[in-house]
Structure 1
């Protein structure tokens, strides 16, 4: 029952994050300039803050396979829990993308194949025509930065009061950097869901063909963050 509650919290929390973040990303087109980029970044950060303070006491508020993987490497999750968390996160993310799909279908004259569902991308799918190598490097670095903050903030119980604020702010910061480049993933579930729903609903498979980058790079970033974190805690 305890694990079921954790998985349900991760599912609902990931739904919150993906729905709020990607809906804002579609409404506030990042090509519109700095105000839109700031708005999207804040939406993701504030959504994560909401999730952390609502569901964090049940599951830790990971809502991100990269964070859960780092917690596994740091011996805070066992393998069955890790698998359960990731499945719950993917289901929640898909539900979030489906909710956005339903909203867009009810707006007259909106072509979902054109607007998209907030999927990540590089090359022609990036507002800056960012390269594959650049996307991999950026997502690894941004994820490592974000996950390192999560590991640090959640390492002591006395940080609980400000934990959600700091983690939400960290997600906002990495989005400010990554939105013009890849749309910012740092979260495989957040990237897989819109790419998958977009491919199934419209037949547009470009985002799905590129999604491996936004799965592999964040997971490598999580491993890098864990290595750095453990290096700072060798004496413990």
Structure 2
């Protein structure tokens, strides 16, 4: 596939991830009659990745996340020259989704960006559970590490074919179940950037962490899987070595 098609797929996929995941938090999580809560939001994020992996995985690889793109590069699965176009497409897709979500949310009379937010990520007083920056940074590194590990492992040619999207989507749902109370869950710099650009203020001030921590975790996950799963070269035959009779 050409780069235009691949980056277009990344744009659409990241749009779907942010609109579906953040949209479930902004529009449905606190709805009084059918509020979906923590479990519903976590499942929504997982479903966005699962559905896109089946839809565009064969076009762009369905990264939807700069930390995943960098992690795949570190794991030897992605060329360095393609990192920047992918990251730009992902960030633009996330921002477009956040804008559309904001327009939809403002259709409710009592919606306030300052009060209701846009599912932006944060720490300290902006953490759902009031967790400190140290806790947020650590959990984002650890969870992104394992997310990239799952992606590389499930898409390995030696893994069972056809099940990678399920493993990846379920992993992202699990990640959200763990860390929504801590940071509102990022593990994805693009997902954090889209809402932060709309919210502004504190969300932009705290955005640095949601780039640095996931990128560290993603790169570490890529390097770890590469070391863990790399196939050893076959031992060369020794001249004169006895061989089994045929």
TM range (shorter): over 0.9
Displacement of 1:227 in angstroms is 2.2
Corresponding residue for residue 198 of structure 1: 199
| CA–CA distance in structure 2, aligned partners of residues 12 and 149 of structure 1 | 23
Question: Of 197, 204, 207, which residue of structure 2 is paired with 1:208?
Answer: 204
**SS class of match (1:232):** helix
Q: Report the CA distance between 1:155 and its aligned residue.
A: 1.3
TM-score of the two chains, using structure 1 as the length reference: 0.92
What does the per-residue CA deviation read over 1:129-179, in whole Å, with 9 as the maximum and x for residues that have no partner?
Answer: 100101000100011111100010111176441111110000000100000
Q: Does the alignment pair 1:86 with 2:87? A: yes
Counterpart residue number, 2:21: 21
1:27-54 CA distance string (max 9 Å, x none): 3149xxx961100100000011111011
Aligned pair count reads 228
Point out the structure with the larger helix share: 1
Is 2:223 the counterpart of 1:223? no
Cα RMSD of the aligned pairs, angstroms, is 1.7
Residue 161 of structure 1 aligns to a residue whose secondary structure is coil
Runs of 4+ more than 3 Å apart:
157-160
**Residues 90, 151 of structure 1: CA spacing in aligned structure 2 closer, same or farther, 3 A cutoff?**
same
Q: CA deviation at 1:114?
A: 1.1
Which residue does 1:4 correspond to in 2? 4
User: Equivalent residue for 2:101?
Assistant: 100
Superposed, which structure 2 residues align to 1:30-179 within 5 Å? 36-156=37-157, 159-179=160-180
Q: Distance in 2 between matches of 1:160 and 1:194?
A: 35
Q: Which has the larger radius of gyration?
A: 2
User: 1:228 deviation in Å?
Assistant: 1.4
- Contact 2:76/2:226 (<8 A) preserved: no
Once residues 186 and 72 of structure 1 are traced to their aligned partners in structure 2, the CA distance between those partners, rounded to angstroms, is 17
For 1:129 and 1:193, locate their aligned partners in 2 and report how far apart those are by CA, in whole Å: 22
Q: Deviations over 1:36-90 (max 9, x none)?
A: 1100100000011111011101011110001100111123222221111100000
Structure 1, unaligned runs of 5 or more: 200-204
